[in-house]
Amino acid sequence: MQIQQNMEGALTARDRVGIQDFVLLDETTEEAFMNNLQKRFSNDLIYTYIGTLLVSLNPYKELDIYNQKQMDIYMGVNFFELPPHIYALADNAYHTMLTEYNNHFILISGESGAGKTEASKKILQYYAVSCPSTTLLNTVRDKMLMSNPVLEAFGNAKTLKNDNSSRFGKYMDIQFDSQGDAVGGHILNYLLEKSRVVHQNHGERNFHIFYQLVEGAGDDLLQRLGLERDCQLYKYLTQGECAIVPSINDRNDWKTVKNALQVININESDNNDLFSIVASVLHLGNLKFSPDGKGLATLSSSSEELRWVSNLLGVEAQKLHEGFTFRKIEAKNDQILSPFTIDHAIYARDALAKAIYGQTFTWLVNRINESMENTDPSRKTVIGLLDIYGFEVFYVNSFEQFCINYCNEKLQQLFIQLTLKAEQEEYEAEGIEWEPVQFFNNKIICDLVEEKHRGIIAILDEECLRPGEATDLTFLERLEDKMANHPHFVTHKLADKMTRKTLERGDFRLLHYAGEVTYCVVGFLDKNNDLLYRNIKDLMCQSKNAIIQECFLTSDSENRKRPETVATQFKSSLLKLTEILMAKEAWYIRCLKSNESKEKGSFFSYSHNNVHVQKIKLHTIIFTGQFDEALIRHQVKYLGLMEHLRVRRAGFAYRRRYDVFLQRYKPLCPATWPHWRGDPAEGVEVLVQHLGYLPNEYKMGRNKIFIRHPRTLYATEDAFEKCKHELATRLQAKYRGYRAKGEFKKQKEAATKIETCWRGVQARKERQKRAWAVKVIKQFIKGYMTRGQAKSTDNSEYLAFVRQHFLSRLKENLPKTVLDKTSWYSPPPVCSETSEILRKLHYRILVRKYVRGITPQRKAQLQLKLVASTLFKGKKESYPQSVAQPFVDTRLNEQDINPRVIQMIRNEHIKYSVPVIKYDRNGFKPRPRQMILTQTAAYLVEEAKIKQRVLYTSLKGISVSSLTDGIVAFHITCEDPKQKGDLVMQCDYLFEFLTKLSIIANKHNAIKVVQGSIKTEVQAGKEGGVDFSIGQEPMVYKGKNGHLMVVTTRTRTR
């Protein structure tokens, strides 16, 4: 930033020399103008403004004002804030294009050598650096930049005026997208000076490319093309006698061109074809003809050159030869070959050379256009750059100069139209107070050249087309007839005495806006016709060279219609150009030559024998070569710069229709923002009042506002820029809100949609499920109804279901214990068999589990209980209640038994003992006793006394009742009367006691359960008994029949 300020400071200090804008001069005299120009020029300040027009004075030396730093300084800065520069103009055009979104063009004018081409290159370079860039755009940019060296090589040449003079007109559109990126380009080319290919004036050269090829190409290429590295060997290169000039480095330029060709997508094969053509032209130039006996042309040089031409152009040598020496005349159905004179042969040769070179040039331009073409169809704005050949005057001026100078007349006309005439007319139309500025309108000269039927071009065409012997001189005569009194036209015949001295008989002179030019009519007709003999044209159509093939289309050749003449084509192309330019906003660069010698400092000297130059020389002897005042003054005059200045000074820098102005700047005033409902003019008035415009700074016209100084507008524009950002933020916020709302709505809609879809999906699923369920239920019912039948498709599923259902229910309801024999889940009929198998299985498993789970003690217990059950189950009423009572090993412990008794039966192992009540045999008196079972006998013990010993062997039966009492009778064998009889006892642990006894004594079969009564033997032979009955209360007593009466209740007593 600091650096930039310093630089700007430095620039400004230097720039205090003179005045930056002629509009600010104190007086608008030519003297003051020239003074200012010179002052600035002597300080290397070559640029000065007239308003927004840039005057550029060619310094003929490299100035350090085109570097990156300078570009940076000028980027995006308002026009008048910095010293005048071509970058300022370029930048301003660019930014106006972006803000106003319209098309522009920069008209660069000035005479040959004034610096137009350099200016256009500087502008292109500036855009290449200053515009935003991307890789893609860079390639477009490279192509735009690189198109220059290629076109210059093929279309520029050294002339007396300029070592790099453009010999074609060029209008280039640079296309920008809305971001300001350069996205494409297009070139229109205008009339190439083809005659230069075959002829150059003294001190001039052919097109650069020829010298570049010969000097720069590698040996192998030269060899392939049949060329040698020596320009002097080629006729077409040496007529000007200056093939090699120190200011031009052909060898380096060759490298640049080769590289540039690559950038613009010219591939290897195109390259070959291209240079084959260039080389063929050189060979053509060396074809020499000599007269045969009858003066007719024969090819005199060895046929070597011809072979090279035929080789390089890919055509038959024989036919080519024929083309140069014979003309094909078609008479009805016949073709007659008419031999050529030498002049004709040379004409045919040169015509071919010019034609192929000219067509190749057009081909190149087309290829460049293809490579720069913008493929994005969105709307583009363009900046057009017009760099066309400048006004030029030579010692001998021919058809080419006529065209070039006519072109410059047209551009001058356009300039006058847009800046002087239209501007002043506008002030009048708008009712702005205005003092008209007089200016020379060159329309009269344009008309002289181009008017229909009456203009020079029309007469030239007439002469070209009319039957009979038309020559350049008859053309001149026709001109003299028609233009006799025209103030801008003079010939030897028409001139007064004085003037006549300066004119040859074959000349005509035009008083151009930029000065008089004498044209020599020789060659006008031929050049205007630009005819190529038919047979040669046909031959070119058969060429094997791809470029020639593309350029010479058979269809064109067969078209018998006479093509438009060169001048007419040129005229219409200029007309089209004018239309193109008129549709755009104009920016002007007026280039001035500072001297004629292309010199920087030395004294003016000139060596060429040139009328114009001689005239100037008279003035310039006085001045140094650097600032040739007369020359410059002359240019200032004819370019109309003074008039432009006057109009600018009195006029207004800027004007806009009220509605447009209001539309753009209305945000700057609360009264006009966002809408001004009333008359736009009033709105603008309110707006500028609000902005504080002073009365002398603007004028209100009928439809437009006129602003005098650019600075006023720039201030407004700056304010607008600032305001725009604020507005943008506001708009952005609004827009974001709007977007968010939209987004929300969209999302909501989407959600509803998804919901609906999802519901649909669910509903369809549900329906399917129901349909399925109905089917299943139907199947189920059918299955149920046919469940009893044999398995069929109807019931198989149902049965499977029943089976499965049963099994899973069964699984949950299996009996948990072995004892549970009732809760087995009852099976459906189909599963009854399975159920039974499973039930058994399950019990076995439960049993096994149970068995594995019990202790040995419990096992013994159960074994005892089993025995008890076999003995009493279902026989004795009190049995069921006893089952749950566990058996014990003994009811009496050893301590309970008298030791004496134990002593007595010591030898027998006591197995079991239990307290009993023994009933006497006769009285049935109950007596408590102990019953002790040993291995061999049962002992009835009273205290220490063994009352009775019953050997098991003598125990023949044991009886109990079927009721609930605890009475037991031992039936004892009684052969011995001394022995006591049967034993009747009552035992509370009857089942335990008897079970033990049956096991110990092995008396299973001896135990009987009897109904009603037990018979006993009281003594041997004496019977007794026990009678059992059921009563209210349990009782035991002696009955009347002498039996023991035992009464039990249904409930068990113990």
Ligand X SMILES: Nc1ncnc2c1ncn2[C@@H]1O[C@H](COP(=O)(O)OP(=O)(O)O)[C@@H](O)[C@H]1O
* Residue 884: partners with Cβ closer than 8 Å, 6 or more residues away: none
Strands, E, within 289-424: which ranges? 289-291, 297-299, 326-331, 334-339, 381-387
Please, which residue, 58 or 528, has the CB nearer to ligand X? 58
Residue span binding ligand X (CB under 6 A) among the ranges 106-114, 533-541, 845-853, 933-941? 106-114
Q: CA 497, CA 763: separation in Å to the nearest integer?
A: 113
Residue span binding ligand X (CB under 6 A) among the ranges 112-120, 215-223, 718-726, 826-834? 112-120
> Which residue in 106, 114, 315, 647 binds ligand X (CB under 6 A)?
114
Please, which residue, 148 or 959, has the CB nearer to ligand X? 148
Residues 691-720 that bind ligand X (CB under 6 A): none
Residue 528-567 contact track with ligand X, rule CB under 6 A, x = bound: ----------------------------------------
What residue type is 118 in one-letter code? E
Concatenate the DSSP letters of all residues of 730-769 into one string.
HHHHHHHHHHHHHHHHHHHHHHHHHHHHHHHHHHHHHHHH
Exposure pattern of 964-985 as b/e (b: 16+ CB <10 Å)?
Answer: bbbbbbbbbebeeeeebbbbbb
- 115 binds ligand X per the rule CB under 6 A: yes
Q: CA 188, CA 172: separation in Å to the nearest integer?
A: 6
Please, which residue, 256 or 672, has the CB nearer to ligand X? 256
Please, which residue, 157 or 320, has the CB nearer to ligand X? 157
* Nearest one of 20, 66, 23, 27 to 43, comparing CA atoms: 20
> Which residue in 18, 184, 390, 1024 binds ligand X (CB under 6 A)?
390
CA distances from 185 to 179, 188, 307, 374, 989 (A): 16, 10, 40, 7, 131
Residue span binding ligand X (CB under 6 A) among the ranges 52-60, 123-131, 263-271, 331-339? 52-60
Residue 58 contact partner, candidates ligand X, Mg ion, none, CB within 5 to 8 A by sort of partner: ligand X
What is the 3-class SS of 940-971, one letter each residue? EEECCEEEEEEEHHHEEEEEEECCCCCEEEEE
What would the two tokens of residue 565 be? 């003449």
CA distances from 605 to 115, 385, 599 (A): 20, 34, 9
> Which residue in 525, 591, 916, 1044 binds ligand X (CB under 6 A)?
591
Residue 774 contact partner, candidates Mg ion, ligand X, none, CB within 5 to 8 A by sort of partner: none
Residue span binding Mg ion (CB under 5 A) among the ranges 165-173, 337-345, 616-624, 927-935? 165-173
* 1044-1048 and 1022-1030 beta bridge pairing: parallel
> Which residue in 20, 38, 48, 117 binds ligand X (CB under 6 A)?
117
| C-beta atoms surrounding 297 within 10 Å | 23
| C-beta atoms surrounding 891 within 10 Å | 20
* Residue 187: partners with Cβ closer than 8 Å, 6 or more residues away: 147, 151, 170, 171, 172, 173, 365, 368, 369, 372
> Which residue in 70, 103, 166, 959 binds Mg ion (CB under 5 A)?
166
* Residue 421 DSSP label: I
How many residues at the interface with Mg ion, by CB under 5 A? Answer: 3
Residue span binding ligand X (CB under 6 A) among the ranges 4-12, 163-171, 309-317, 814-822? 163-171
What is the 3-class SS of 970-1023, one letter each residue? EEECCCCCCCCCCEEEECCCHHHHHHHHHHHCCCHHHEEEECCEEEEEEECCEE
What residue type is 209 in one-letter code? I
My answer on whether omega of the bond before 674 falls inside 30° of 0, hence cis, is yes
Residue 447-466 contact track with Mg ion, rule CB under 5 A, x = bound: --------------------
- 63 binds ligand X per the rule CB under 6 A: yes
Q: CA 209, CA 534: separation in Å to the nearest integer?
A: 28
Please, which residue, 44 or 230, has the CB nearer to ligand X? 44
Q: Which residue has the tokens 């319209």?
A: 102
CB of residue 648 vs ligand X: minimum separation in angstroms?
A: 23
Residue 952 contact partner, candidates ligand X, Mg ion, none, CB within 5 to 8 A by sort of partner: none
Please, which residue, 156 or 518, has the CB nearer to ligand X? 156
How many residues at the interface with ligand X, by CB under 6 A? Answer: 21
Please, which residue, 165 or 369, has the CB nearer to ligand X? 165
Residue span binding ligand X (CB under 6 A) among the ranges 161-169, 474-482, 801-809, 920-928? 161-169
First to last CA, the chain: 129
Confirm if 182 and 140 have CB atoms less than 8 A apart: yes
Q: CA 240, CA 160: separation in Å to the nearest integer?
A: 10
> Which residue in 83, 84, 113, 155 binds ligand X (CB under 6 A)?
113
Please, which residue, 61 or 778, has the CB nearer to ligand X? 61
Q: CA 159, CA 596: separation in Å to the nearest integer?
A: 12
- 116 binds ligand X per the rule CB under 6 A: yes
Residue span binding ligand X (CB under 6 A) among the ranges 158-166, 196-204, 916-924, 996-1004? 158-166
- 162 binds ligand X per the rule CB under 6 A: yes
Residue span binding Mg ion (CB under 5 A) among the ranges 115-123, 239-247, 439-447, 1044-1052? 115-123
> Which residue in 125, 164, 573, 779 binds ligand X (CB under 6 A)?
164
What would the two tokens of residue 230 be? 């020596």
Q: CA 1025, CA 1016: separation in Å to the nearest integer?
A: 5
Q: Using alpha carbons only, what angle is made at residue 195 by residues 242 and 214, rounded to the nearest 5 degrees?
A: 45
> Which residue in 20, 58, 212, 529 binds ligand X (CB under 6 A)?
58
Residue span binding ligand X (CB under 6 A) among the ranges 164-172, 304-312, 550-558, 908-916? 164-172
CB of residue 456 vs ligand X: minimum separation in angstroms?
A: 25
Distance of CA 570 to the CA centre of its chain: 45
Residue span binding ligand X (CB under 6 A) among the ranges 107-115, 426-434, 665-673, 1038-1046? 107-115
CB of residue 249 vs ligand X: minimum separation in angstroms?
A: 13
Please, which residue, 117 or 195, has the CB nearer to Mg ion? 117
CB of residue 159 vs ligand X: minimum separation in angstroms?
A: 9
* Residue 619: partners with Cβ closer than 8 Å, 6 or more residues away: 628, 629, 630, 631
What would the two tokens of residue 328 be? 């094909």
Please, which residue, 60 or 843, has the CB nearer to ligand X? 60
Please, which residue, 624 or 1053, has the CB nearer to ligand X? 624
CB of residue 86 vs ligand X: minimum separation in angstroms?
A: 8
CB of residue 392 vs ligand X: minimum separation in angstroms?
A: 8
> Which residue in 117, 147, 565, 882 binds Mg ion (CB under 5 A)?
117
What residue type is 832 in one-letter code? S
Q: CA 784, CA 1030: separation in Å to the nearest integer?
A: 57
Please, which residue, 163 or 596, has the CB nearer to ligand X? 163
Please, which residue, 59 or 1034, has the CB nearer to ligand X? 59
Residue 855-874 contact track with ligand X, rule CB under 6 A, x = bound: --------------------
Please, which residue, 110 or 981, has the CB nearer to ligand X? 110
Residue span binding ligand X (CB under 6 A) among the ranges 111-119, 229-237, 491-499, 537-545? 111-119
CB of residue 117 vs ligand X: minimum separation in angstroms?
A: 3
Please, which residue, 612 or 704, has the CB nearer to ligand X? 612
For 453: left if phi > 0, alpha if psi spans -120 to 50, otherwise beta; the answer is: left
CB of residue 88 vs ligand X: minimum separation in angstroms?
A: 14
Residues that bind ligand X (CB under 6 A): 58-63, 110, 112-118, 162-166, 390, 591
Residues that bind Mg ion (CB under 5 A): 116-117, 166
